[in-house]
Amino acid sequence: MWLYLAAFLGLFYLVRWYRERQIVSHLPDKYVFITGCDSGFGKLLARQLDARGLKVLAACLTEKGAEELRDQTSDRLETVILNVTKTESVAAAAQWVKERVEDRGLWGLVNNAGISLPTGPNEWLTKEDFVTILDVNLLGLIDVTLNLLPLVRKARGRVVNVSSIAGRVSFFGGGYCISKYGVEAFSDSLRRELSYFGVKVSMIEPGHFKTAVNSKERFLKSFQELWDRAKPEVKQVYGEKFLESYMKKTENLEQKCTEDLSLVTNCMEHALTAHHPRTRYSAGWDAKLLYLPMSYLPSLLVDAMVYWGSPRPAKAL
């Protein structure tokens, strides 16, 4: 019985490995548009695809980011300034892409731009705090996708949406996990709709990586600001000790982060270049070995694991 099971698993992985090795042809003719290329995964992916010979159209939030990227890449790579929360900016970027790709269409759209702050216990936040994150991570991603979809359909290309393991398990309050759950839901419906047109949609679900979204300094500053402006009742219920423990836990955040960002960008590259891309890519060992299995556990067990690692409010029963 165990032998049959091992043989079946071996065969399954062998067939999968063979299927996933097949790469699409004419890569140097293909255009890929990436958002959030100033830093982190977006910047590395732009450099990686440029080095592989693809025509990269890199969207940066700032001119400084765009200039830095151009300095590190070939003349093939072109940049545009894009703020995904501004509809005019998204429409202008879509027109800019259209002028470049012409009748060939857009082979790849990588929705990577994202922010992680303000984040904290839900009661410390305002509706505007939720809106800030949802506007970039979810509504911005949807706006960019809707504007570029006709071009992607023309090329029978790929949409690669950057979600997170926080789109599978909601560990903390605020808009971040909600935005990533939203990215998963949007990508699932989009994948089913676009399959009729030969367009493939993939999601990237990284664990913790050392980039600006996980900057300890930014988190600590943001927590302190949220605490300072919290209502007296909230402060009383949580207590200063909670804030201290919360801060201490955050101090260790960067130690938990993987430094090798290529574990994520290699998944993005595979989603763009393989004949048979995966629907979901778990990037990083923490994602594969801890958070992904955790997402399949009953809520009771996940709750227990989250309580175990969290500070308790002063007035907890």
Rule CB under 6 A: say whether 182 interacts with ligand NAP.
no
Exactly one of 155, 162, 178, 267 binds ligand NAP (CB under 6 A); which one? Answer: 162
Binders in 1-20 for ligand NAP, by CB under 6 A: none
Q: Alpha-carbon Rg of the chain, whole angstroms?
A: 21
Q: Is 200 in the site for ligand NAP (CB under 6 A)?
A: no
Q: For residue 165, which amino acid is it?
A: I
When CB distances to ligand NAP are compared, the closest residue is 40
Q: What is the DSSP string of 218-239?
A: HHHHHHHHHHHTS-HHHHHHHH
Residue 176 annotated as catalytic: yes
Interacting residues with ligand NAP between 259 and 298 (CB under 6 A): none
State the number of binding residues for ligand NAP (CB under 6 A): 29
Binding-site member from 182, 206, 277, 311 for ligand NAP (CB under 6 A): 206
Are 58 and 34 contacting, i.e. CB atoms less than 8 angstroms apart? yes
CB of 89 to ligand NAP, least distance (A): 8
Q: Which of 48, 73, 147, 164 binds ligand NAP (CB under 6 A)?
A: 164
Separation between Cα atoms, residue 107 and residue 104, nearest integer Å: 8
Which residues lie below 8 Å from residue 98, measured CB to CB, with a gap of 6+? 151
Coil/strand/helix, residue 213: helix
Of 191 and 218, CB closest to ligand NAP: 218
Among 84, 93, 117, 194, indicate the residue that binds ligand NAP (CB under 6 A).
84
Query: Which position among 4, 13, 176, 291 bears the catalytic label?
Result: 176
Q: Which of 73, 25, 21 lies closest to 46, judged by CA?
A: 73
Q: Is 113 in the site for ligand NAP (CB under 6 A)?
A: yes
Q: Which residue lies nearer to ligand NAP by CB, 62 or 224?
A: 62
- Please report where in the chains the tokens 């030969």 appear, as a residue: 198
- Nearest approach in angstroms of CB 236 to ligand NAP is 33
Among 31, 124, 209, 223, binds ligand NAP (CB under 6 A): 209
Q: What is the DSSP letter of 185?
A: H
Per DSSP (E only), the strands in 20-152 are 31-34, 55-60, 78-81, 108-111
Q: Should residue 85 be labelled a site residue for ligand NAP when binding is judged by CB under 6 A?
A: yes
Using DSSP's 3-state secondary structure scheme, residue 53 falls into: coil
Quick count: other Cβ atoms within 10 Å of Cβ 265?
A: 24
Beta bridge partners of 41: none
Q: Is 160 helix (H, G, I), strand (E, B) or coil?
A: strand
Piece of the chain touching ligand NAP by CB under 6 A; list 14-22, 36-44, 97-105, 302-310: 36-44
Q: Which positions lie near ligand NAP, rule CB under 6 A?
A: 35-36, 38-42, 61-62, 65, 82-85, 112-115, 136, 140, 162, 164, 206, 208-209, 211-214
Catalytic annotation, residues:
176
